[in-house]
Amino acid sequence: MVLPKHMRLKGHRCFDFIYKEGSRFHSYSMVLRVTKANPKIKSKAIIQNESFAIKCAISISNKVSKKSVTRNKLRRLFHQHLSNRLSKIHPEFEIWAFISLKPNCLKNSTSSLLGECDKLLFKSGLA
């Protein structure tokens, strides 16, 4: 299962913004960045008359694995997990979240990775 469209983060400017402004939460095998949304940066084409949601993105670099198959599997795993956890939450304003995996994350099993992800989400106050 993949994240639905309204929960995805898009556009290069958004990522630049979150890299600069986001508050960071570290763990052994990943980094979570969270900010409030910056509506100025959003693409003009998108008209915001919807209820606010948490927008997520995941970055898995080539250093994690050179094979795109394993990267795809990790991405799908995280997408499914995040959509299960965060789809029911409706915050008062829009929040952007961004998880980047560190190169050593393949040493852990998938269930422990998801556990780490839950801890970080709790730490940041999202869940």
Partner RNA sequence: GAAAGCAGGGGAGGUAAUCGCAAUUGAAACUUCAGCAAAAGCUGAAGGAUUCUAUUGAGGAAAGUCCGGGCUCCCAUGUGGCCAGGCUUGCUGGGUAAUUCCCAGUGCGGGUGACCGUGAGGAUAGUGCCACAGAAAUACACCGCCUAAUGCUUAAUGGGGAAAUCCCAACAAGCAUGGCAAGGGUGCAAAGGUGCGGUAAGAGCGCACCAGCAGCAUCGAGAGGUGCUGGCUAGGUAAACCCCGGCUGGGAGCAAGGCAAGGGACAUAAGGAUGGCCAAUUAACCUGGUUCCUACAAAAAGCCGCUUGAGGUUAUCGGUAACGAUAGUCCCAGAUAGAUGAUUCCCCAUUCACUUUUGAACAAAAGAAGAAUGAACAGAACCCGGCUUAUGACCUGCUUUCACUU
Q: Which spans of this chain sit near RNA (rule: CB under 7 A)?
A: 1-2, 4-6, 8-13, 15, 41-43, 45-48, 50, 53, 55, 57, 59, 67-69, 72, 75-76, 80, 94
**At its nearest, how many Å lie between RNA and the CB of residue 53?**
6
Least Å from the CB of residue 95 to RNA = 11
Nearer to RNA, 22 or 29 (CB): 22
Please report, in angstroms and rounded to a whole number, the separation of the first and last CA atoms in the chain: 20
What is the nearest approach in angstroms of RNA to the Cβ of residue 27? 19
**Between 11 and 115, CB nearer to RNA:** 11
Q: What does the H/E/C string look like for the chain?
A: CCCCHHHECCCHHHHHHHHHHCEEEECCCEEEEEEECCCCCCCCCCCCCCCCCEEEEEECCCCCCCCHHHHHHHHHHHHHHHHHHHCCCCCCCCEEEEEEECHHHHHCCHHHHHHHHHHHHHHHCCC
Of residues 63 and 122, the one with the C-beta less far from RNA: 63
Which C-beta is closer to RNA: that of 45 or that of 92? 45
